[in-house]
Amino acid sequence: MAHIRLRCVECGASHRADVRALYCNTCKLPLEVEYTGVGALSRSGLGGLWRLGAPAPVHSPSHVVSMGEGMTAVALLERSGLLLGLASLFGKLEFQSPTGSFKDRGTTVLMSALKEAGVDEIVEDSSGNAGASIAAYAARAGITAHIFAPASAPAPKVQQLRVYGAHVHLIEGSREAATQAAKAFVEQRGLVYASHNLSPFFLEGTKTFAYELVDQFPEGLPDHVVLPVGNGSLLIGAWIGFRELQASGRVKRLPKLHAVQAEVVQPIAAAYMGRPWRPQAGARTAAGGIAVAQPPRLRQALRAVRETGGACVAASEEAILRWQRLLAREEGVYAEPTSAAAFAGLELLARQGVIGARDVVLVPVTGMGLKDMAPAE
Ligand SMILES: Cc1ncc(COP(=O)(O)O)c(C=O)c1O
Ligand SMILES: [Zn+2]
């Protein structure tokens, strides 16, 4: 990792690259990867998103843990566009990745960095999709994984963790309770906390979403990208990718990045609107993947939205479930509720005139409906 350092997202302080480092020593805020040189990684023979030529924190191709993730299809969503009064609405079918969600983008890079660092046992906490992704890639890398998840996580997601052979720790209470339990376990056992929410390496994978869009829209990038946001790994990763592409001259104008949250869990949308917000006891959303009350990268997520000229909105439960059904019946796209939330948010943005009828809009369909089936009846 001699070609990278880790930079504090707040004060800019530079830290030595280390897979265990998750916070700035001074600010206690998360870090991001800074490239000080070109890695020795030769991409010949590597598939999936590793072919895109994005700077990567891994040196040797022999450490890359990959299953050809990324390179997901873009589909025109004509009927949904008509319903919303939009001429050009596209979905990027992120559930086509190996474990059924966009998380594999981040995991392939994070797991490769862990393998390169010689790590053999990790801890992660997740509402489901990231855990499944980490469990799968850990199995592939020969790394033992402990995954902490809320006891309320959907059964198919928990089953997916188990089938990959992860040690599953189900924790009663909120999503945050699973995080606290994972952190305590890391302390107790002296293990590596491979947190997809905190690790800067995960964002180095999700940034490839931006690189792919440049290839898939050779005539010009979409005007708007509307994303479901909990911790913001796809939002922030896409922003990092677009800025890299802008710095290298490949992109002139960035799409506006819009963040969608659920009404009942909306720390980022509330901060964007300057409104106070506190989690309400017992309030649940069908969009479990974005039910994050205290996202550690909240300020970074807000910057991604503001600096690209985007907006944050909060979607109702009724609209989230309505869009899940609608996407399945009108488009043949079976999204999980968390992913459908982005469309519910798009509906608000179109209604508010933030997105115009002639604008080109892209929404990542981040996760597969089969993994979170309960609400879709
Ligand atoms: C399907 C799906 N979409 C979107 C998200 C939100 O990702 P993030 O928390 O990184 O913003 C998640 C997170 O678990 C997810 O599972
Ligand atoms: Zn700092």
Task: Assign residue 250 the CATH number of its domain.
Answer: 3.40.50.1100
The residue ranking higher by pLDDT, 123 or 173, is 123
Identify the pLDDT of residue 279.
Answer: 87
Owning domain of residue 207: 74-101+202-376
Q: Is the CB of 199 under 6 A from ligand 1?
A: no
Taking 90 as the threshold, does the pLDDT of residue 127 lie above it?
A: no
Q: Quick one: average pLDDT of 213-225? A: 97
Residue 8 has pLDDT above 70, yes or no: yes
The answer to the question of residue 148 being in a domain is no
Q: Is the CB of 106 under 6 A from ligand 1?
A: no
Name the band, by pLDDT with cuts 50, 70 and 90, for residue 374.
Answer: low
What total number of domains does the chain contain? 1
CA distance 100 to 128: 11
Atom from ligand 1 closest to the CA of residue 290: 6
pTM (2 decimals)?
0.96
Q: 367 CB less than 6 Å from ligand 1?
A: yes
Task: Report the phi/psi class of residue 12: left, alpha or beta, with left for phi > 0 and alpha for psi in -120 to 50.
Answer: left
Q: Is residue 111 part of a domain?
A: no
What pLDDT, on the 0 to 100 scale, is given for residue 43? 57
Most ligand 1 atoms within 8 A of CB, residue of 94, 99, 102, 227 to mutate? 102
Element holding 348 (H helix, E strand) = helix 337-351
Residue 264 is assigned to a structural domain of this protein:
yes
Ligand at minimal distance from the CA of 257 is 1
Higher-confidence residue of 175 and 233: namely 233
Contact 195 CB / ligand 1 (< 6 Å): no
Distance 30 CA to ligand 2 centre (A): 8
Q: Is residue 354 part of a domain?
A: yes
**pLDDT number for residue 123:** 98
* Cα of 289 from ligand 1 centre, angstroms: 5
Query: What residue's CA is closest to ligand 1, atom 15?
Result: 289
Q: Which tokens in the block code for residue 79?
A: 């009927």
For the chain, give the longest Cα–Cα distance.
55
Please tell me the number of the ligand nearest to residue 9's CA: 2
The pLDDT of residue 3 = 87
Q: Is 35 helix (H, G, I), strand (E, B) or coil?
A: strand
d(CA 265, CA 275): 13
Q: Cα–Cα distance between 112 and 107 in angstroms, integer?
A: 8
Answer whether 93's CB lies under 8 Å from 75's CB: yes
Determine, yes or no, domain membership for 339.
yes
Question: Which atom of ligand 1 lies closest to the CA of 234?
Answer: 10
Res 74: pLDDT: 98
* Structural domain contains residue 57: no
Residues 22-54 pLDDT 10s: 999 999 999 999 999 877 665 567 888 988 889
| pLDDT at residue 247 greater than cutoff 80 | yes
Q: 295 C-alpha to center of ligand 2: Å?
A: 17
Q: How many CB atoms lie within 10 A of CB 138?
A: 28
Q: Does 160 contact ligand 1 (Cβ within 6 A)?
A: no
At residue 190, the pLDDT reads 96
CA distance 83 to 230: 26
Within-domain flag for 251:
yes
Rounded to the nearest angstrom, the gap between the alpha carbon of residue 314 and the centroid of all alpha carbons in its chain is: 18
pLDDT(265) > 80: yes
Residues 232 and 73: their CA atoms lie apart, in Å, by 22
Q: Which of the residue ranges 74-88, 177-191, 283-297 would you say has the lowest mean pLDDT?
A: 283-297
**Average pLDDT over all residues of the chain:** 94
Say yes or no: CB of residue 230 within 6 Å of ligand 1: yes
pLDDT at 152: 87
> Is the confidence at residue 375, as pLDDT, over 60?
no
- 357 lies in some domain: yes
Residue 44: what pLDDT?
Answer: 61
* pLDDT single digits (tens) 304-360: 999 999 999 999 999 999 999 999 999 999 999 999 999 999 999 999 999 999 999
Q: Which of 233, 261, 365 to mutate to test the pocket of ligand 1 (most atoms within 8 A of CB)?
A: 233
* pLDDT of amino acid 347: 98
